[in-house]
Structure 1
């Protein structure tokens, strides 16, 4: 067993009409519980400084983000080296509450798509209405045959999360969707 921790694809990149980049190591904590609970909201705010996001939204401050994943699930994203300590701190803050905290940092791969055509590229592979997709929105969906979450993380920028086990497939899929010459035709 190696002590060296690496990301799924070691920073792979592709430049098409959209740039696709493997996002490297990212700390992730899955938090399950009653998202309307004052105790849960207080624990998240006290440990991360973030508010519970609204449905299908992401709140963020600096390198920390909280993503609404389902009515009883948040995904906290933070620097990789802080995930273990943050999960322990959050679990301690929620002791006695009906909630679970799991450090899931090594379970997923992260990709960043950048460029004016990012929504056009993703629309080829995801059943999401990207015309209504605003900065700070997140959707759990599929990218072709793979479960994924897509987050409009900046102007002309989407962060995509998928399971690490399908990282190479996802990268290849995203590259094909962003390849030069595959831009959508504009109709007058």
Structure 2
């Protein structure tokens, strides 16, 4: 029997991403194999409250909010939809927790870990780099830590999540089939920062 083997969408391009980084200014890397689970549930239902208790953080109820626990990020995707992001290998446990808290109420819990990979863009130049291909105002007053938005970056549909303000750090959730394209675009857009060091 063949041995199972998994490879992230950008595994073969890790060195290229690292090579596009500029020490002290910009860092590009892949955050591979995170657990990603989508949740659909009525936010005003008893199930939503039970889920919040089980997770240790209530589900965000405002557009673009992100809630954090010690091991999870919970990103608001819509009025009744969230993306939960956790450490590698915890998708099954997360699904079980959510399904048990959901009980018999109407809702959905789906493991989407293989759907997207994450490209991390961090450093002082990160907002400037992302602004080249994204129409969002990424100033920390408008898009600071624990904020997210579904948007276009270089014409690719992404979920952009701000993790830190100082220095700026973003996670870009991109479909696996667009990961190479977006990584290449980011590398090309970052080329000018090598010339200004």
The question of whether the paired residues in 1 share the 8 Å contact of 2:47 and 2:103 is answered with: no
2:185 is aligned, of 164, 173, 180, to 173
* 1:30-179 alignment runs, 5 A limit: 30-46=38-54, 48-53=55-60, 54-131=62-139, 132-155=142-165, 156-179=168-191
1:177 aligned counterpart, secondary structure: helix
User: 1:28 matched to which residue of 2?
Assistant: 36
The question of whether the paired residues in 1 share the 8 Å contact of 2:50 and 2:102 is answered with: no
2 CA distance for matches of 1:147 and 1:168? 13
2:50 aligned counterpart, secondary structure: helix
1:179 aligned counterpart, secondary structure: helix
Q: Deviations over 1:112-164 (max 9, x none)?
A: 11111211111111111112211111011011221101111013101110111
Q: How many residues align?
A: 183
1:176 aligned counterpart, secondary structure: helix
Change (3 A) 1:45 1:55: farther
2 CA distance for matches of 1:30 and 1:183? 41
TM-score normalised per structure 2: 0.85
Unaligned runs of 5+ in 1: none
RMSD value over aligned CA atoms?
2.0
TM-score normalised per structure 1: 0.89
2 CA distance for matches of 1:137 and 1:183? 32
Change (3 A) 1:162 1:2: farther
Q: Deviations over 1:42-70 (max 9, x none)?
A: 22331x22221232111112231100011
The question of whether the paired residues in 1 share the 8 Å contact of 2:35 and 2:91 is answered with: yes
1:67 aligned counterpart, secondary structure: strand
1:130 aligned counterpart, secondary structure: coil
2 CA distance for matches of 1:4 and 1:45? 36
1 CA distance for matches of 2:145 and 2:76? 14
User: 2:21 matched to which residue of 1?
Assistant: 15
